[in-house]
Amino acid sequence: MLRLALPVLLLAAAASGFFPVSVRKDDQLYPAVSFDGDNFLVTWHDTRDMPSVNVYACRVSTDGRALDTAGIRLAGSQRDQLVPRVVHSTQDWFVIYQEGC
Per residue in 33-69, pLDDT tens?
Answer: 888 988 889 999 888 888 889 999 999 888 778 888 8
- Contact call for residues 58 and 67 (beta carbons, < 8 A): yes
Enclosing domain of residue 34: 10-99
Average pLDDT over residues 22-41: 84
Q: For residue 3, is it within any domain?
A: no
Residue 34 makes CB contacts below 8 A (sequence gap 6+) with: 40, 41, 86, 87, 88, 93
> In this structure, are residues 56 and 73 in contact, taking their beta carbons and an 8 Å threshold?
yes
User: Total structural domains in the chain?
Assistant: 1
Helix H or strand E segment including 86:
strand 81-88
The model's pTM is: 0.78
**48 domain residue, yes or no:** yes
Place 94 in a pLDDT band, splitting at 50, 70 and 90: very high
Beta partners for residue 57, in sequence order: 43, 72
Asked if residue 39 belongs to a domain, the reply is yes
Asked if residue 38 is part of any domain, the answer here is yes
Answer whether residue 30 is part of any domain: yes
Please write the tens of the pLDDT for every residue from 1-11: 333 232 333 44
